[in-house]
Structure 1
């Protein structure tokens, strides 16, 4: 188990309906504090103002996608080792391997089950220790 507790998630998702479902899953069911962003640029701005325990990034977003945002975050002090999880509707094995090679703890497919989303994230968090 990780020595640090998972409390705060910086979550980027451009689709409002998915964000709303995830909000219920993460806040109400999971008990997490969640900071919401709609694209990679917002993630970079939010990262300067907060210190999340985990990044939860949609792969495909307008402006700056999740993988690019993670690459940019890795250049910022304090974000070099921060755990990240990607969410994507395009779940192909080559892409999963690529995201894992970038340092992702997990790749969660969309649509996701809101009843199990928080547990999947907690399991990935615990495996990193």
Structure 2
């Protein structure tokens, strides 16, 4: 095991960081130019922060988590990856990636007032 890790991280065990080996890759299914950078991850398949996969790559684990405050819905939080949009040209294609990678959360808006305050864009789809 030490020889395997030394090949990637060098011989000085004091400098080894789990996240330098254990990363979550985000390859695009069809276009390499749309790949997102791999994110350093903690945990493994047998920890609270379950992040399993073959070798050192995280290919399984939670991609979305939320904390809901039932006494004040607007005090709820979530984390998601890689972003809100699946469109590579969008500013929101990978904007949540680093937040998710650090297990950090963003606020959720539930009340009409908070949703209207946080809304940046509205897309209205109407039948013909």
Q: What's the TM-score, normalizing by structure 1? A: 0.29
The one of the two structures with greater contact order (alpha-carbon pairs below 8 A, sep at least 6) is 1
Richer in helix (by share)? 1
Which has the higher Rg, Structure 1 or Structure 2? 2
Q: What's the TM-score, normalizing by structure 2? A: 0.29
